[in-house]
Structure 1
Amino acid sequence: MTSAPGNLGFYLSGSVLLLIGASKLPALIRRPHDMLLRAACLLLFTGGCNMLLAAPESIVQLNRLSGTANLAAPVVYATTTAFSGASLLLIINWRPAPPRQTRRASRLCVSAYGLVVLAVFLLYGAGSTPVEQVALFDVYYANTPYIREMIVTYLVAQGVAMMVACSLCWRWSREVHGSLRAGLRTLAPAYLIIVCYVAMRLVAVAARWSGHNLDFLVDQVSPRLAAPSAALGAVGFLLPLAGPPVATAARSVRQLWQLAPLWRALQDVSTPGAVRATLPWWRTPPAMLLTGRKTALYDAILALTPHCDPAVRESAHRAALRRGDDASSAEVTADAAMILVARERQAADAEQPPDGTPRSPWHARDLVPLSLALASPVVRDIHRQFAPSEKAAHHA
């Protein structure tokens, strides 16, 4: 059985897993045929039970309450086997594949690991384990008939599940990108560490068969692999869930920073009829802040449309082309110059839009390039040339 420095880590980890699993129950009740959700719930509950039951204190208490020296052994081994099968089942249902293939693999996984759980209890019942062993059960009873087979059965089943899960995660990671790829490439070494854990215990058991003693692999070395495998596993499952929202927030923050020059230029533009809501940045999601910022900028540009002068835009466009800008960049630069001059003209004559020449609306629709174009020397030159002198001096 598993050994560890203390019980707190087992109880805390197990309780967290069970609480998360309980939070998924309403969704499972609504979608009882969702195999991915069922596999996730099974993984959480078997993992939580395994951590609670594998705590050294739990092993001692279970043996004492049952009145049987090592009843905790098959219970812990069965939950470990169930957890291994649930891990493999989750990967099978998580990975994109034809539905028929997924169902067939899922049935095979459930049947195989269900039989292993049954075999663990049957073999334990057929054997004899009179001396209680909390930490060295595997090696102490490595030569006991039926118990020997039970130990090998559960270790091989766990190792096979972890090896297959590791292989599936690594192969699938080559086909995807972003946080899902990062999560899979974190899960793969987590499963590989468990394979090493199993291999060490099998080596120690095999050493007992040949008359040697490598018990330190069971009670000193292999337990040290539990913490890193658990940490990597948690991060691996968390990354695909948390990655997309974090990436979306990062993109929103980057766009807010890129829109800052345009916002500073247009935040005081009069927008009759438009409602500007102040969103406190410290408690508003970045995506919502970005939406509000874009809406306010579009309102400001719409309010400036009657003041937009095609002659200003044409001059800025020619100047940008002479400067070496490509056609697309020149268009954006021209729009930025026209809007900046329109801001000054609106401020100079807020009540009466200019008459005469029909006004040309801006051509660009992406605000970020427009905002970045404000730094162009062409925009500054056209602004000084066409803006009303007093306002130009005021805003310089």
Structure 2
Amino acid sequence: MSLMVYLAAAVFLLSCTALLTRPSNAPRDPLTVSTCAAIVLGSLGLVCAAPTTLSAVNGLTGIPNFGAPLTYGMISAYSCSLVILLFQWRGGSPARVRRMMLRGMAAYGALIVAIVVLFALGDASTERLTDLDTYYANTPYMREMIVLYLLGHSAATLAMCAVCVSWAREVTGLLRTGLRLILVGTLLDVVGFQLTKYTAVVARWTGHNLDFLSTGVAPPMASLAALTCSAGFALPRLLPALRAQRRDLCALRGLGPLWSEVRFASLAPKPPSALWQLPRMRLHWREVSIHDGLLALAPYFDDRLRERTRDAALHEGRPAHEARVAAEAAMVADAARRAAAREEPFGTPSTYRLYATEVSDTCGLVELARALARSRLATAVPESTVKATPR
């Protein structure tokens, strides 16, 4: 069970890392900070609740069940972070938000103090790593401590559910999907963790034994709730970034034919460890290097070849823009061939500006690369056909 809890906590923390990913010069959003604080405290609560952690804490302190107030205090701190996150979501004047946050922290701070005091007053001399809630459900002071942490956690999660339902009606796209995932995770916490804990504790009060709900059902449901909530927190921030990286990777691959044509002429310095950089950085370096190579090939540009190729493409019925890009591809390929053969450049350099250098994004270079690939294919097919024809 500890391994499953640790895995859920690790995924929880990974979602926090995704949320904190931002440019170094970008301002830190208070809402993002509050969200990450909630994620970190939630993951710490999971780690503290693991039996392996409880045993280690009890052994280090020499106090049986010392891990119980530590875990309950961490869960209460997580509940407090959810309340603060709700205040941030609701918004309003900074003074009002700050005042509500201080009130929430004061309330849950008092709850944590009460948990510690009640544990100190109670008799918990027998170490219980998995069933402390039900084992001490009828023990004075320990009983009140268990009920207090459950009530504090229930108040925060039920408020979170209400806000998610309300806000999901007003937003669209990934944000709505993320809110729905947070709602599902919170409901799993309410039903799978809190309700089972309440049921098992009340069963002990009435002389029955439903401990399996607290020991066998509640922990995995809490882990599943944490995983679902972490997906809801990270999805609106992480998925657009992944899509952007995928687009950059496709553009990087699309530039392959053009890069193989001009790379020998590029003098741009190669960045260290380019293979391990994100596609965005590799694409930026590839663009700079291609532009440098095209600049080096400019003295070899044959305007007459370009014009003949363009006129031929227009005569075939191709659109004007497509004809222009095809003509530029032919001119670049011819310039690269003659530069590689160390032929003399033209005495009067061409002043023509490629379409790929007129646009600010990568689409112009990608179009030029595709035109080069098509021209290579068009010349390769007839050659292979001729070679295959018997004499």
Using the size of structure 2 for normalisation, the TM-score is 0.69
Q: Does the aligned pair in 2 maintain the 1:54–1:76 contact within 8 Å?
A: no
1:90-109 aligned within 5 A: 90=85, 93=88, 95=89, 97-98=91-92, 100=94, 102-109=97-104
Structure 2: gaps of 5 or more residues: 21-26, 358-363, 381-391
Structure 1: gaps of 5 or more residues: 25-30, 384-396
Deviation sequence 1:148-171 (CA, Å, 0-9, x none)? 444333212212323444555674
2:202 match? 206
1:138-177 aligned within 5 A: 138-142=133-137, 147-165=142-160, 168=163, 171=167, 175=171
1:337 match? 330
2:369 match? 371
Distance 2:9 2:271 in 1: 42
- Determine whether 1:294 maps to 2:290: no
1:5-154 aligned within 5 A: 5=1, 37=33, 40=36, 44=40, 47-48=43-44, 51-52=47-48, 55=51, 56-58=54-56, 61=59, 65-66=62-63, 73-90=68-85, 93=88, 95=89, 97-98=91-92, 100=94, 102-121=97-116, 129=123, 132=126, 134=128, 135-142=130-137, 147-154=142-149
Distance 2:313 2:87 in 1: 56
Q: Does the aligned pair in 2 maintain the 1:337–1:379 contact within 8 Å?
A: no
Q: Does the aligned pair in 1 maintain the 2:46–2:223 contact within 8 Å?
A: no
Match of 1:262 among 242, 245, 258: 258
Identity %: 29
Deviation sequence 1:283-335 (CA, Å, 0-9, x none)? 45433332232222112222333333444334444444455544443433332
Equivalent AA in structure 2 for residue 292 of structure 1: W
Deviation sequence 1:228-271 (CA, Å, 0-9, x none)? 34444556666677666655543332222100011122233x46
2:352 match? 360
Pick closer, same or farther for the CA change 1:320–1:98 going to 2, 3 Å.
farther
1:13 CA displacement: 6.0
Pick closer, same or farther for the CA change 1:145–1:308 going to 2, 3 Å.
same
Equivalent AA in structure 1 for residue 187 of structure 2: L
Distance 1:194 1:322 in 2: 69
Query: RMSD of the alignment, in Å?
Result: 4.7
Q: Mean alpha-carbon deviation: is it higher for 277-286 or for 146-155?
A: 277-286
Distance 2:202 2:188 in 1: 20
1:359 CA displacement: 4.7
1:221 CA displacement: 1.8
Deviation sequence 1:127-150 (CA, Å, 0-9, x none)? x54674624343345456665444
Distance 1:350 1:172 in 2: 66
- Determine whether 1:277 maps to 2:270: yes
Distance 1:205 1:13 in 2: 26
Q: Does the aligned pair in 2 maintain the 1:50–1:83 contact within 8 Å?
A: no
Distance 2:321 2:97 in 1: 48
1:307 match? 300
SS class of match (1:109): helix
> Whose RCO is larger (CA < 8 A, sep 6+)?
2
Pick closer, same or farther for the CA change 1:173–1:183 going to 2, 3 Å.
farther
Distance 1:44 1:143 in 2: 33
SS class of match (2:259): helix
Distance 1:334 1:302 in 2: 17
Distance 2:163 2:81 in 1: 14
Distance 2:28 2:283 in 1: 38
Distance 1:6 1:278 in 2: 44
Using the size of structure 1 for normalisation, the TM-score is 0.68
Distance 2:137 2:71 in 1: 17
Pick closer, same or farther for the CA change 1:239–1:296 going to 2, 3 Å.
same
Distance 1:102 1:334 in 2: 62
Q: Does the aligned pair in 2 maintain the 1:259–1:367 contact within 8 Å?
A: yes
Distance 2:222 2:105 in 1: 25
Pick closer, same or farther for the CA change 1:354–1:378 going to 2, 3 Å.
farther
